Amino acid sequence: MWRKFLLIGIFFGAIHWPSAEAVVPEVEQDASRRVALVVGNGAYAANRLSNPANDARAVGRALRALGFEVLSYEDASGQRMREALREFRQRLGAGGVGLFYFAGHGVRIGERTLLLPVDAASRLSEAIDLDAVLGSMSAARPGKLNLIVLDTCLSKPFQAGPQELPALPEQTLIAYATAPGSFAADGPRYGLYTAAWLKAMAVPGRRVGEVFESVRVAVARDTQGRQIPWLSSSLSSESAAFRLVPPGQVAPLARLVLADDERVVVPHSRGILPKDSAEQYELTFWESIKDSNFASDYQAYLQAYPNGRFAALAKARIERLRAAAAKTETPAEHAQPAPVAKPAPERTPPVSKPVPERVPPSAVKATPVPAAVSSPTGRTPALPVAGLGEVKDCPTCPALIAVPRGAFTMGSNADDPSEKPAHHVSIAESFAIAKYEVSVEQWTACVEAGACPRIASMAGAPATAPARDVSWDDVEPYVKWLSKISGKTYRLPTEAEWEYAARGGTSTRYWWGEQMRSGNANCKGCGEPWQQEGPAKVGSFAANPYGLYDMNGSVWEWVADCWHNSYQGAPADGRAWNEANCRVRVIRGGSWREGANYMLSSTRFKYDASVRHSQNGFRVARDVK
């Protein structure tokens, strides 16, 4: 018999555990058979974790001291975890309390919670679905009680607020190390949640709910509220009275109680997929379009991943959108060729994780900012090169900012392989880059001149919104048109120029500092104005030190370079890194649908040059001579 999840909020208001004084019959499980499966995975090829093996050993010792038969595994492959679950199921067949513990990376995809074996970082087909764990514990048995403890960060394990959640087997409790959108911190030797749990279960006489309430309080305190554990439960009142250590019994865990220095928090999150893995591209691509009202977004997904995990849903969305369009006589969406990959919300994502340590770039050598250059005709023969200034080459041309020459450290030596190695780049000549992303109004001027393709999704968009749903190939006629009407040679910025301009002479993770601050980027959870349906108008957020707007967030921006999986061999002089027949190009800066961790100045991704996507736009550049 199955029951719905009972979701316990941050303060456990949804469930009231029986008090010590309440008259609740003690259950027989206290003295019954106990079986535990303990898994600690840390040896991932990317985003390695140092503590899960320690966690698994400490939990295994503690559970053995409490009378559990323990199956313990470290750095298990997907096959090994599946074999372990089969043995776990068999042992539980004889009855008693079952406990499953997992420490390592995890991810939430749609309605599925996946626990990652060490070989699943780039092949999620090897991941272990939480449903498989529940299935191994769901069969009826004498003295049945299921406890599941997950010391992992799940990307959006569930949304806040009332909702329908997957059913739990009866007499089952799941303890999550963290709330939705948060991270699961490590300590010096153990996961912070695991350390708190080991201490809490050493206290005699505590009911199971009291143990996890104690853990919640301790973890919230030690992380200053950044990590809040959650529970879901289908336990009856009788099962909720279960005690790991009966009242009056001396806890056999005294020697296992951890030292107070385990409260030290190491801001490293459990629950991250490598940003440059094929699996992550598919998952984040889907996350970026799952709420889209454009059939072309789902067509792009299907063309990239015809047998993808969301293919059936994408097809259904296309049919529904086309049916709705037919009723309102909306023009058909443009067809699109296959994309290579599309990034999207949350590097971890959880969704939220602490910002990784980054190698700070050296300060850019730049001259002070002078007053903007004006022209009564709206056209100037040249840009100033002695410092920064603003000009327009023609009435319909984007405003440009002259960026001085200088040097900086490009990329990052943090967790994303595509941003490595951080390397010195010298920008030998000043260049001009658009103050704002190209707007709908500016794109429409090119369309009306017969030089640019008409993009159906821009119809009815505000004139000051950033132009989007444009491919890299669409940009070529636009820059040719600008060059023709202005007499200047327009182009896309190189990737090095883009990052140099985005940093604005700063040496921090974001141009405004080391942490996200509201009002600096048009991104999810980064402050108003923000809405899910589309980006804010250009210039709605603060400009960086060079006077450039929306370099972070708003829309992803095409740059001139071909995509390379790392910076190994990248030019050091700021020129575009290209080769013949290149069809995969670089996009930079994140979009309004991404969270704060995609706003870092070093963030980069790839996309097929011929594909339009509703989150992709651009800004232009030209030389200054």
The domain ranges of the chain are 48-263, 390-623
Q: Return d(Cα 390, Cα 553) in angstroms, integer.
A: 22
Write the CA distances from 520 to 16, 156, 376, 544, 553, integer angstroms.
Answer: 42, 25, 32, 8, 9
The type of residue at 615 is Q
Band of residue 355 on the pLDDT scale cut at 50, 70, 90: very low
Q: What percent of the chain has pLDDT over 90?
A: 44
pLDDT reading at 11 higher than 60? no
Residues 286-316 have pLDDT tens digits of 766 777 777 877 887 887 788 887 888 889 8
297 in Cβ contact with 614 (< 8 Å): yes
Q: Return d(Cα 284, Cα 274) in angstroms, integer.
A: 11
225 in Cβ contact with 265 (< 8 Å): no
Write the CA distances from 78 to 41, 53, 114, 212, integer angstroms.
Answer: 11, 16, 11, 29
Q: Is the dihedral of CA 93, 98, 101, 106 positive or negative?
A: positive
Higher-pLDDT residue of 49, 399: 399
Smallest CA-to-CA distance from 564 within 591, 589, 590, 582 is with 582
How many CB atoms are located within 10 Å of the residue 257 CB?
Answer: 16
- Token readout for 219 is 């973890």
Strands 145-151 and 128-129, bridge-based pairing: unpaired
Q: What is the pLDDT of residue 166?
A: 52
Which long-range CB contacts under 8 A does 122-128 form with residues at least 24 apart?
A: 122/45, 122/46, 122/274, 122/277, 122/278, 122/279, 123/279, 124/279, 124/283, 125/78, 126/77, 126/78, 126/79, 127/78, 128/78, 128/81, 128/82, 128/85
For residue 350, whether the previous peptide bond is cis, meaning omega lies within 30 degrees of 0, is no
Q: What is the pLDDT of residue 249?
A: 64
Span between the terminal Cα atoms of the chain, in Å:
76
Angle (CA) 297 303 306, round 5°: 115
Q: What is the mean pLDDT of residues 454-476?
A: 93
Q: What is the pLDDT of residue 16?
A: 35
Q: Return d(Cα 41, Cα 28) in angstroms, integer.
A: 33
Q: What is the pLDDT of residue 331?
A: 41
- Token readout for 36 is 């535990």
pLDDT reading at 340 higher than 80? no
Q: What is the pLDDT of residue 124?
A: 65
Angle (CA) 253 192 243, round 5°: 40
Q: What rounded mean pLDDT belongs to the chain?
A: 78
pLDDT reading at 562 higher than 70? yes
- Token readout for 129 is 């679905």
Q: What is the mean pLDDT of residues 320-346?
A: 52
Q: Return d(Cα 228, Cα 72) in angstroms, integer.
A: 27
List b or e across 578-612, with b for residues whose CB sees 16 or more CB atoms inside 10 angstroms. eeeeeeebbbbbbbbbbbbbbbbbbbbbbbbbebb
Q: Return d(Cα 154, Cα 335) in angstroms, integer.
A: 35
Higher-pLDDT residue of 22, 514: 514
Q: What is the mean pLDDT of residues 187-193?
A: 84
Q: What is the mean pLDDT of residues 80-89?
A: 95
Q: What is the pLDDT of residue 46?
A: 67
Q: What is the pLDDT of residue 543?
A: 95
Q: Return d(Cα 403, Cα 398) in angstroms, integer.
A: 15
Q: What is the mean pLDDT of residues 4-24?
A: 32
Q: What is the pLDDT of residue 284?
A: 65
List b or e across 467-477, with b for residues whose CB sees 16 or more CB atoms inside 10 angstroms. bbbbbbbbbee
Q: What is the pLDDT of residue 186?
A: 76
pLDDT reading at 411 higher than 50? yes
Write the CA distances from 65 to 6, 13, 100, 271, 485, integer angstroms.
Answer: 31, 32, 16, 30, 80
The type of residue at 569 is G
Higher-pLDDT residue of 452, 32: 452
Residues 154-166 have pLDDT tens digits of 654 333 333 344 5
Q: What is the pLDDT of residue 307?
A: 82
The helix/strand/coil state of 73 is: strand
Q: What percent of the chain has pLDDT over 70?
A: 75
When mean pLDDT is compared over 257-271, 320-334, 352-366, 503-517, the highest value belongs to 503-517
Q: What is the pLDDT of residue 223?
A: 79
Q: Return d(Cα 393, Cα 382) in angstroms, integer.
A: 9
pLDDT reading at 266 higher than 90? no
The type of residue at 292 is S
pLDDT reading at 239 higher than 80? yes
Q: What is the mean pLDDT of residues 432-460?
A: 95
440 in Cβ contact with 460 (< 8 Å): no
- Token readout for 506 is 């700063």
The CATH number of the domain covering residues in 48-263: 3.40.50.1460
Q: What is the pLDDT of residue 512?
A: 93
Smallest CA-to-CA distance from 234 within 321, 147, 308, 164 is with 147
Higher-pLDDT residue of 71, 227: 71
Residues 23-55 have pLDDT tens digits of 333 333 344 789 999 999 998 876 788 889 999
Task: Give every CB contact of residue 491 below 8 A, 6+ residues apart in sequence.
Answer: 479, 560, 620, 621, 622
pTM of the model: 0.50
Main-chain phi, psi angles of 256, to 5 degrees: -100, -10
Q: Return d(Cα 335, Cα 374) in angstroms, integer.
A: 43
Band of residue 597 on the pLDDT scale cut at 50, 70, 90: confident
Residues 91-135 have pLDDT tens digits of 999 999 999 999 998 877 666 788 999 987 546 667 899 999 999
Strands 431-434 and 400-403, bridge-based pairing: antiparallel
Task: Give every CB contact of residue 429 below 8 A, 6+ residues apart in sequence.
Answer: 405, 623, 624, 625
Residues 526-538 have pLDDT tens digits of 888 999 889 999 9
The CATH number of the domain covering residues in 390-623: 3.90.1580.10
Band of residue 276 on the pLDDT scale cut at 50, 70, 90: very low
Q: What is the pLDDT of residue 136?
A: 93
pLDDT reading at 67 higher than 60? yes
